[in-house]
A and B are shown apart, each in its own frame.
Chain A
Amino acid sequence: MATETSKRPNTLFRNLNAKIASLPMIFTALVVFVGGTVWTVVYSFTNSRLLPRLQFVGLDQYERLWSTPRWLASIENLMIYGVLSLIFSLTIGFVLAALLDQKIRFESVFRTIILYPFALSFIVTGLVWQWLLNPDFGVQHFVRGLGWETFTFNPLYDQSIVIYGILIAALWQGTGLVMCLMLAGLRGIDEDIWKAARVDGIPMWKTYIFIVIPMMRPVFVTTLVIIASGIVRVYDLVVAQTSGGPGHASEVPAKYVYDYMFSAQNLGQGFAASTMMLLTVLIVVVPWAYLEFGGRNKRG
Chain B
Amino acid sequence: MADAVLTSHPAAGVEPFGPRPRRVFSRRNIFLYGTLIMVSLYYLLPLYVMIVTSLKGMPEIRFGNVFAPPLEITFEPWVKAWSTACTGLNCEGLSRGFWNSVRITIPSVIVSIAIASINGYALANWRFKGANIFFTILIVGAFIPYQVMIYPIVIILREMGIYGTLTGLVLVHTIFGMPINTLLFRNYFASVPEELFKAARVDGAGFWGIYFRIMLPMSLPIFVVAMIIQVTGIWNDFLFGVVYTKPETYPMTVQLNNIVNSVQGVKEYNVNMAATLLTGLVPLIVYFISGKLFVRGIAAGAVKG
B-contacting residues of A (Cβ < 8 Å)?
Answer: 11, 14-15, 17-19, 21-22, 24-26, 28-37, 39-40, 52, 96, 99-100, 102, 104, 108, 110-125, 127-129, 131-132, 137-138, 141-142, 145, 172, 176, 180-181, 183-185, 187-188, 217-219, 221-223, 225-226, 228-229, 232-233, 235-236, 253-254, 257-258, 261, 267, 274, 277-278, 281-282, 285-286, 289-290, 292-295, 297-299
Let me know if B139 and A285 touch, CB within 8 A: yes
- A142 neighbours in B (Cβ, 8 Å): 65-67
Q: Is the CB of B40 within 8 A of A114?
A: yes
| A148 CA / B234 CA spacing, docked (Å) | 44
Query: Contacts A40-B152, A298-B190 known; A111 to B175 CB distance under 8 Å?
Result: no
Q: How many residues of B are in contact with the other chain, CB < 8 A?
A: 97
A236 touches B238 (CB 8 A): yes
Residue A119 contacts which of B115, B139, B280, B302 (CB distance < 8 angstroms)? B280
Tell me if B295 and A183 are in contact (CB < 8 A). yes
Q: Are B122 and A21 in touch, CB under 8 angstroms? A: yes
A123 touches B238 (CB 8 A): yes
Q: By CB atoms of chain B within 10 A, which of A17, A52, A188, A232 has the most?
A: A17
Q: Could you tell me if A131 and B66 are in contact, using CB atoms closer than 8 angstroms? A: yes
- Residue of B138, B238, B291, B295 most packed against chain A (CB within 10 A): B295
Chain A's closest residue to B182 (CB) is A25
Output the least CB separation between B110 and chain A (Å).
14
* Chain A residues positioned under 8 Å from B256 (CB to CB): 123-124
Asked whether B145 is an interface residue with its Cβ less than 8 Å from the other chain, the reply is: yes
- CB within 8 Å: A-B pair count: 279
Within 8 A of A (CB), among B143-171: 143-153, 155-156
Among candidates B132, B207, B236, residue contacting A124 with C-beta atoms closer than 8 Å:
B236
Main secondary structure of the interface of A (DSSP, over half): helix
Surface stretch bound by A, among B7-15, B29-37, B76-84: B29-37
Contacts of A267 in B (CB 8 A): 151
User: Taking the complex as formed, is B283 at the interface, i.e. its CB lies under 8 A from any CB of chain A?
Assistant: yes
Q: A115-B287, A219-B303 provided; 14 other pairs, C-beta below 8 A?
A: A15-B126, A29-B137, A32-B141, A32-B156, A33-B141, A36-B152, A112-B288, A116-B288, A120-B236, A137-B66, A184-B299, A185-B303, A261-B150, A285-B140
With beta carbons under 8 angstroms apart, the residue of B127, B142, B291, B303 that contacts A229 is B142
A232 (CB) vs chain B CBs: closest residue:
B143
Rounded to whole Å, the gap between the CB of A28 and the closest CB of chain B is 5
- Tell me, rounded to whole Å, the shortest Cβ–Cβ distance linking B151 to chain A: 7
Residues of B with C-beta under 8 A to A236: 238-239
Contacts of A113 in B (CB 8 A): 40, 43-44
Contact of B138 (CB < 8 Å), options: A33, A96, A122, A145: A33
Q: Contact between A40 and B134 (Cβ–Cβ < 8 Å)?
A: no
